[in-house]
Structure 1
């Protein structure tokens, strides 16, 4: 029988197709793993409701886990839990920063617009930045500009 530790170890290999330095555990997308004698059930939540990568991630979970664990795997969307950027691990935030994307700030009920305006630059760490567009290359990102280093950068949007 497969155990939870084996499942989580295998899930570390399932990377986000849009941000390949993050896996599904880094993002806090996995809500449940249920090992059984002859199968595994994984429940996941998408980072954004209309995320186009959800089906790819779902298929990748099945492919990786079946290869690693040698049992059939079912992946369901968890309809009870809701994703929040606060679910991201501290390691995920660091990986995003090193990848050149400003990580989402921890959201504690502050005004959303204020959070977007106070986004530190991932290149020089200056807070002298401004929001150029709330729409980035994907639904979960916004575009900012740093007045100190002159870099345009993406910001993973905070979501509560």
Structure 2
């Protein structure tokens, strides 16, 4: 039997399918109570994230399929999620799929410009602050001319 943590950790993000909720840092905690109930704590990328219902349903479905029928999912907003919680593996998965991962918030503002996930060039320009989902913006590389999504720094 897969552990409850492993089962919850492999749930893909419904908007960024190449990464899991664990890769993104959305999955905060998983524990199993004495009565067998699995308690899962998640934090949305932002308070109005439309994917949270799907994430909760996917977690419950994954855990039930692994033999954990009693699942309690709690959403916490504090501390608020930050892009700094994205794992190194998650950042690599995003870049490998053509989405520029966010730079660390600890960097100076001017150093937070993404690099092209296709060719690695820093010669990029923002086309639109609004991308295919609310957490992404649309950019174009001036080096290879390819467009790409960029996960916004939060």
Find the residue that maps to 1:131 and give its secondary structure: strand
Q: Is the 8 A contact 1:7 1:69 kept in 2?
A: no
Structure 1 residue matching 2:3: 3-state secondary structure: helix
Q: Deviations over 1:27-56 (max 9, x none)?
A: 101222221132111110011222111110
Query: Structure 1 residues 96-105 or 42-51, which shifts more?
Result: 42-51
Deviation at 1:13, TM superposition (A): 2.5
Give the corresponding residue for 1:22. Answer: 19
Distance 1:31 1:12, change over 3 A: closer
- Pick aligned residue for 2:120 from 107, 121, 125: 125
Distance 2:87 2:37 in 1: 28
State the alpha-carbon separation in 1 of the partners of residues 22 and 142 from structure 2.
Answer: 34
Any idea what the Cα deviations from partners look like across 1:93-143, whole Å, max 9, x if unmatched? 0000000000000111633xx355x21000000001111111101111011
Q: Which runs of 5+ in 2 are unaligned?
A: none
CA distance in structure 1 between the aligned counterparts of 2:50 and 2:111, rounded to whole angstroms: 25
Cα contact 2:114–2:122 (8 A) shared by 1: yes
State the alpha-carbon separation in 2 of the partners of residues 29 and 79 from structure 1.
11
Within-5 A mapping of 1:70-85: 70-85=68-83
**What's the TM-score once normalised by structure 2's chain length?**
0.92
Q: Comparing 36-45 with 5-14, which one deviates more in the overlay?
A: 5-14
Q: What is aligned with 1:59?
A: 57
Matched, 1:144 2:139: yes
User: CA, structure 1 residues 66+32, in 2 after alignment: closer, same or farther (shift >3 Å)?
Assistant: same
**Root-mean-square deviation (Å):** 1.7
- Aligned residue pairs total 153
Deviation at 1:12, TM superposition (A): 2.9
